[in-house]
Amino acid sequence: MKTRMLGTLAVSEIGFGTMSFASTYGQAPDRAESLRVIRGAHDLGVTFFDTAEAYGPWTNEVLVGEALAPIRNEVVIATKFGWDIDPLTGERRPGLNSRPDHIRRVADAMLARLGTDHIDLLYQHRVDPDVPIEDVAGAVKDLIAAGKVRHFGLSEAGAATIRRAHAVQRVSAIQSEYSLWTRDPEPDVLPLCAELGIGFVPWSPLGAGYLTGKIDTATQFAADDFRAHSPRFSQGARDANQRIVDLLAKVAAAKGGTPAQVALAWLLARAPFVVPIFGTRRLDRVAENLGAAQIDLTAQDMARIESEFAGMTVEGLRLPEAVLSLSYR
């Protein structure tokens, strides 16, 4: 697989997000199978793996650390801090916590869970309005100086915040939701990334599975699957948004691919510093998604997709309002 740059950090052009191995999409899968899929992704060319302390909490970092231990020197591991998680019980408390002393403490805990001596890319998971971003960047800068962290990132941050953080410690990557049906980063954040030489990592590039074409109004979600409570996954929204999937399917048929591959290829074609991270529990889906790198969307293809999408309206908020309020601050 080809590589792309997140600032000065080289990664595979498509990365693997491991949140789906936690309980976000219902009951967590079998551990042995999870290890097989994560390691299998590397066998297929992935070198960029994404986790977070909040996934579990904690259990996902342990899983990723175990899966990647035999190949640690061949991969880039990204994780995230920022939620207020009780350091003794692992209970996720309401609100955020990016105080510098908290960042230093959780970084050590992350290293232990991942079983490594450094974190390749450490993100702030959400911007904490109670802590100046300069203090956050300064804390990560100290961790970089200590050799515990190598690169700094922000997730779902606004352009002004990114610029302020970058002035203290170089930001290597911004991670935000981005896909054909979620275009929020385009007006301000993507141009700023291009200006400052920052990589951009789209999460949920397949619309939490919807853009693959394998979800319709008849799909039933378990009560503990976050999509059961997501505005964009209501039956009405799924029905209204079907024509977006139909557009991807039409392009896929012309290109000899699948809707999922076209959705990822669309992101790869947006800018050379864009590195999407998809998530799946199945190794065959990993292989399918990585096939996006072989889908060549020409400038004419991109213009045609844009022209048809311009006549569509995306129904449903991408996240519940309470969660959405934490973005782009």
Per-residue pLDDT tens over the stretch 261-288: 999 999 999 999 999 999 999 999 999 9
Residue 24 has pLDDT above 80, yes or no: no
pLDDT digits 0-9 by tens, 177-188: 999 999 999 999
pLDDT band at 73 (very low <50, low <70, confident <90, very high): very high
Residue 215 has pLDDT above 80, yes or no: yes
Mean pLDDT over each residue of the chain, to the nearest integer:
97
| For residues 29-55, average pLDDT | 97
Torsion angle, alpha carbons of 47, 199, 305, 310, to 10 = 140
Tell me how far apart the alpha carbons of residues 202 and 13 are, in angstroms, rounded to a whole number: 12
Residues designated as active site: 55
Q: Give the Cα-Cα-Cα angle 9, 159, 58 (nearest 5 degrees).
A: 55
pLDDT band at 28 (very low <50, low <70, confident <90, very high): confident
Amino acid at 148: K
- Domains of the chain plus CATH, in order, are 3-209+259-295 (3.20.20.100)
